[in-house]
Amino acid sequence: MTRSLERGRIVADVAGLALTAEEREFLAHPQVGGVILFARNFASPEQLAGLVAAIHAVRSPPLLVAVDHEGGRVQRFRDGFTIIPAMRTLGRLWDGDQAKALTVARNCGLVLAAELRAHGIDLSFAPVLDLDHGPSGVIGDRAFHRQPAVVSALAAALQAGMAAGGMAACGKHFPGHGHVAADSHVAVPIDDRPLAAIEADDLQPFRRLIDEGLAAVMPAHVIYPDVDQRPAGFSPVWLSYLRRRCGFDGIIFSDDLSMEGAAVAGGAIERGLAAVAAGCDMVLLCNDFAAVSALADGFAAAGVDGPNQARLGRLFRPALAESAAALEGIAAYRDARACLAGLS
């Protein structure tokens, strides 16, 4: 039976290819607002569509279903999906042919979004707006380019393509993860640059996409001590800057709170409360069912209210096609997919 319940702040994960009874019950918790899927949740396009439908059926309005599906090495679903090239491929294409690079970027966005939406998925945490400064292995070829103007142009084209495919975009990792060598999955990176240097460089793509309607942002688990001693995702200073100085009015998702870069905030409940207090609308906690269950109960005990429902609702957009079969009948999709042939 579908439960009528406003969406909460927690984005959780599920273990396998179908919901268990325990997971179904947990997803009905008032503090849960979404689910993030991984490669382990995918066996075939048909199975994926069934899993997403089951998640959506748990409650009304439906939970947000999201995925990290950027292209390159971060593409969770492959069989039956178009292989999206790493974003660095588009940057290299720009260096030789700017007009072609913009066309390909838009088509990448359209195909990425349309295929996910045809399987019911609401949001991909893309694009990466970090600059390719060189030291960061975890960012690396996920970044479009070193130059902020190039990243801005290509990411804006990709965002426009995603919108045409029926999906909002989520820019990450604010205010820029590309300058640090440490991987925030396993360490606490520190970026010692002054704010003026970050503003002149890494923040430019975020400003450009916000000006063009960016619907969601994910801050980095990186400390920028010139601004705050807390990682950006736990920093009311940074998230206030995002709202007030950058004019962002969309949803702020924390990065995964199970990452080592989040450990400075304490245990799972402390991390979640700190992220919400800083200004995150939604918090991700993955790969630890006991911890995310404790977080939900901790939020309830602390009286954490839900996110702005209208703001969150803007992430739900009409699909270009409601099924993979219907998508094949749309010329714009077929043309976009043909444009990507051979790029990956």
8-56 pLDDT per residue, tens = 999 999 999 999 999 999 999 999 999 999 999 999 999 999 999 999 9
C-alpha 39/C-alpha 230 separation (Å) is 31
The answer to whether residue 278 scores a pLDDT higher than 70 is yes
Average pLDDT over residues 204-228: 97
pLDDT at 129 over 90: yes
Give the span between the Cα atoms of 7 and 307, in whole angstroms.
8
Task: Read off the pLDDT band of 225 (50, 70, 90).
Answer: very high
With residues binned 3-state (H G I as helix, E B as strand, rest as coil), the percentages for the chain, rounded to 5, are 45, 15, 40
Q: Is this structure's pTM higher than 0.85?
A: yes
Instruction: Give the pLDDT mean for 301-309.
Output: 98
Distance, CA of 263 to CA of 271 (rounded, Å) = 8
CA distances from 194 to 197, 202, 226, 274 (A): 6, 12, 6, 24
The residue-averaged pLDDT of 162-186 equals 92
Residue 36 to residue 238: CA distance in whole angstroms: 25
Q: How many CB atoms lie within 10 A of CB 199?
A: 15
Which residue among 122, 202, 255, 281 is the active-site one?
255
229 — phi, psi (to 5°)?
A: -85, -5
Question: What is the structure's pLDDT at 183?
Answer: 74
| C-alpha dist (Å) from residue 239 to 68, 138, 179, 262 | 22, 23, 19, 16
Residue 69 annotated as catalytic: no
> Element (H or E) spanning 33, and its range?
strand 32-37
Both structure tokens of 192: 């010692």
d(C-alpha 276, C-alpha 85), whole Å = 34
Query: Is 56 a known active-site residue?
Result: no
Integer Cα distance of 171 and 52 in angstroms: 23
What is the distance between the alpha carbons of residues 233 and 239, in angstroms, rounded to a whole number?
Answer: 7
Give the pLDDT confidence score for residue 1 in this predicted structure: 66
What pLDDT does 313 receive? 97
Q: Which of 185, 191, 211, 281 is catalytic?
A: 185
| pLDDT score recorded for residue 344 | 66
User: Average pLDDT, stretch 146-158?
Assistant: 98
Average pLDDT over the chain, rounded to an integer: 96
* Spatial distance between the Cα atoms of 201 and 87, rounded to a whole number of angstroms: 18
3-state DSSP assignment of residue 259: coil
162-176, 252-266, 321-335: lowest mean pLDDT where?
252-266
What count of residues does the chain have?
344
102-122 residue pLDDT tens: 999 999 999 999 999 999 999
